[in-house]
């Protein structure tokens, strides 16, 4: 019997891409206004987001990881802004100005960050049937503001932030913690997430049923990661859960789960 749902946050419950897109556009406009029309704001904003998601070259990793480890995530992001501006021969700004650029991006992103349509209804109804555990990778610096802005703790039973743990998904340790919190066994859980490498691989390695939120991503056969179930968009999650478990103990409530 299904007892718990493990849920990713970004791109599963919440539209992180949409929030990033709005914040990037505002950053691009602001950068061009601040430093002149010759500044390519779109290129700057895209490079910034690529950087904060740590899609780095080896050279960048060697430069930025010590800043994160010895100082803070915020210090890294401020340095990233300095470095990106320097590529456009803008090397005269101080840390206060770089911090203001960083703060504006964060504030704009959080203002735009929200659940996908129908997800709050799904969480409310699913919580009457299952224990809900959110497992999200990422640094505390970025994940806690997202969690607070959505009042996520009011809608689920437990929240695990990878940045607060010894290891992140797909490590077994983080799934063991979730199983302990939910007081259930691996065969009593479905893990739902958008990342093949972290969500789906992690679940498969633990013997947990996996549900991949595809978002039009190709299934990379070379990875050898094959989810048990796939939906294209998060609004399809409730219907699939209902189909997989139509004889759940509280069947009437289960039938009421909808896609909003």
Q: What ranges do the domains of the chain cover?
A: 4-15+114-255, 17-112
What's the CATH number for 4-15+114-255? Answer: 3.40.50.1000
**pLDDT of the chain along its 260 residues, tens only?**
999 999 999 999 999 999 999 999 999 999 999 999 789 999 999 999 999 999 999 999 999 999 999 999 999 999 999 999 999 999 899 999 999 999 999 999 999 999 999 999 999 999 999 999 999 999 999 999 999 999 999 999 999 999 999 999 999 999 999 999 999 999 999 999 999 999 999 999 999 999 999 998 888 776 889 999 999 999 999 999 999 887 554 443 433 444 34
Among 51, 127, 55, smallest CA distance to 82 is for: 51
Q: Which pLDDT score is estimated for 23?
A: 98
How many C-beta atoms surround the C-beta of residue 149 within 10 A? 16
Whole-number Cα distances in Å, 221 to 14, 218, 224, 250: 27, 9, 5, 38
Q: Which pLDDT score is estimated for 130?
A: 97
Q: How far apart are alpha carbons 87 and 149 in whole angstroms?
A: 34
Q: Which pLDDT score is estimated for 244?
A: 86
Q: Which pLDDT score is estimated for 38?
A: 81
Give the alpha-carbon dihedral of 147, 157, 188, 116, to 10 degrees. -40
Among 143, 140, 129, 130, smallest CA distance to 13 is for: 143
- Whether the CB-CB separation of 26 and 210 falls below 8 Å is answered with no
Q: How far apart are alpha carbons 51 and 44 in whole angstroms?
A: 10
């Amino acid at each position: 019997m299904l007892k718990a749902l493990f849920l990713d946050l970004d791109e599963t419950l919440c539209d992180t891409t949409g929030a990033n897109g709005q914040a990037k556009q505002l950053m691009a406009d602001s950068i061009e206004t601040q430093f002149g029309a010759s500044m390519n704001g779109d290129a700057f904003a895209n490079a910034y987001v690529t950087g904060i998601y740590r899609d780095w070259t080896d050279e960048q990793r060697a430069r930025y990881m010590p800043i994160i480890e010895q100082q803070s995530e915020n210090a890294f992001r401020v340095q990233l802004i300095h470095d990106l501006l320097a590529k456009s021969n803008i090397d005269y700004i101080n840390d206060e100005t770089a911090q203001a650029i960083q703060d504006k991006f964060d504030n704009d992103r959080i203002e735009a960050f929200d659940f996908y349509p129908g997800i709050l209804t799904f969480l409310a109804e699913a919580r009457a049937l299952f224990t809900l555990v959110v497992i999200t990778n990422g640094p505390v610096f970025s994940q806690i503001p997202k969690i607070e802005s959505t009042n996520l703790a009011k809608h689920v039973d437990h929240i695990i932030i990878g940045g607060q743990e010894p290891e992140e998904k797909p490590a077994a340790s983080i799934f063991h913690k979730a199983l302990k919190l939910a007081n259930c066994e691996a065969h009593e859980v479905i893990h739902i997430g958008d990342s093949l490498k972290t969500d789906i691989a992690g679940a498969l390695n633990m013997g947990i049923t996996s549900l991949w939120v595809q978002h039009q991503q190709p299934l990379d056969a070379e990875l050898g990661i094959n989810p048990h179930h796939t939906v294209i968009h998060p609004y399809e999650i409730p219907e699939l859960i209902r189909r997989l478990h139509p004889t759940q103990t509280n069947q009437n409530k289960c039938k009421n789960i909808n896609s909003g």
